[in-house]
Amino acid sequence: MRARRAAGAIRSAKGRWLRAVLLSVFAAGWLVGCYAPGTKRFDPYAPGEASAPQWQAVRSGVGIPSAWLQPDASPYRLGPGDWIEIELLGESGGPVPTLVGPDGKIYFHLLPGLEVWGLTLEETRKLLEKELARYVRSPQVVVTLQTVQSRRVWVLGRVRTPGIYPLAAPMTVLEAISRAGGLSTSRFSGTTEELADLRHSFLIRGGRFVPVDFDALIRKGDMSQNVYLRPDDFIYIPSSLASEVYVLGAVYQPRTVGFKDQVTLISAIAAARGPIENAWLRQVAIVRGSMTEPRIATVNYNAIVKGQAPDIPLQPRDIVYVPFKPHRSLEAYANIVIDTFVRTVAANEGGRAASRTYRTPGVSVPISQ
């Protein structure tokens, strides 16, 4: 009797366990069936979950005025560092090399310092003859420009001889690159394509980006891009082998982020020590593409951090910009990002070229908008 009861209890327990298993399987199947085919849950931490941001093509820079394609016809004006030769006719000493000092003055013969900064050679000659008339009867002076140091252009990056070159006569972008030895050539392939990234090359003038399309100019021969340079113009041709993301704007440490397997918007900003207080995080910009034909997308960084939107995977050479304030025009916003980028790169590359002891604090010096 007891044996039959025990057997019945075992069968009853097995039945309850089987019903529980069946119920669990049914419930799981019901939950899976609640999702339509082809849909899935959003997991902000899962790789590959990012939705594509909305990109908009914009026009960069202020355009190239037709006057920039013509040489400057104005005469050369002297500045500190220039060397001139002064010859007083009738004197036996011959031409005298004379330096325009840091104060813009020259010292010749018995004359005290003469201010020639900003004068042409003809104006300098007349000034010398006027002042020398106090010591010499009817002086006749010949002034010749010997060495130019006050007017220079910068040609840096992937050229054979990067450096700072004097601007003694009108010079175009192509002439400047040729003066620097041309684009660097790969010793393996015999081409320049591996070393010079023309799509991301730029010209900066007076702290502003000049939209010269180096790819169209050098590879396609588009002479409408071959502008004449002005003093202190800065040409930079980056390496095509570089693989970096640039983080600028309202972050604690603007910098480059090396591109490895995958870099996302969150990881890039985190590498820059995060956004500063009061940064406008609802309109973080990602600028992608060439310098002259960029595309811009804005994303809500706050929503991504809170898990309300997916993180954004970045590509090499993307520029991430955390704004200080909101922007209404995407085109104006993109130009702010590009101007900030070229100024910071120019500051660092120019510092390296001017001083061997220059130490960059990253790829960028914090520059506000």
Name the phi and psi angles at 207, rounded to 5.
80, 5
Residue 287 CB neighbours (<10 A) = 26
Task: Give the whole-angstrom CA distance, residue 344 versus residue 328.
Answer: 24
Which CATH code for domain 83-147?
Answer: 3.30.1950.10
Phi, psi of 255 (to 5 degrees): -165, 175
Structural domain spans, the chain: 83-147, 151-237, 243-354
Least trusted range by pLDDT, from 57-71, 95-109, 186-200, 265-279: 186-200
Average pLDDT for 353-361: 60
* Confidence at residue 12, expressed as pLDDT on a 0 to 100 scale: 55
For residue 126, pLDDT beyond 60? yes
- pLDDT band at residue 43 using 50, 70 and 90 as cut-offs: very low
Q: What is the pLDDT of residue 162?
A: 94
- Tell the CATH topology of 151-237: Outer membrane lipoprotein wza fold like (3.10.560)
What is the 8-class DSSP label of residue 200?
A: G
pTM of the model: 0.76
pLDDT value of position 358: 54
Strand 202-205 relative to strand 114-115: parallel, antiparallel, unpaired? unpaired
- Indicate whether 364 pLDDT > 50: no
CATH topology of domain 243-354: Outer membrane lipoprotein wza fold like (3.10.560)
Same fold, 151-237 and 243-354: yes
Determine the pLDDT at residue 40: 38
Look up residue 3 and give its two tokens.
């044996």
Query: pLDDT grade, residue 191 (50/70/90)?
Result: low
Tokens of 55: 């990109």
| Listed residue (364, 366, 319) closest to 346, CA to CA | 364
Say what the pLDDT of residue 57 is.
84
Q: What is the mean pLDDT of the chain?
A: 82
pLDDT in tens, 50-74: 456 788 888 766 678 889 999 988 9
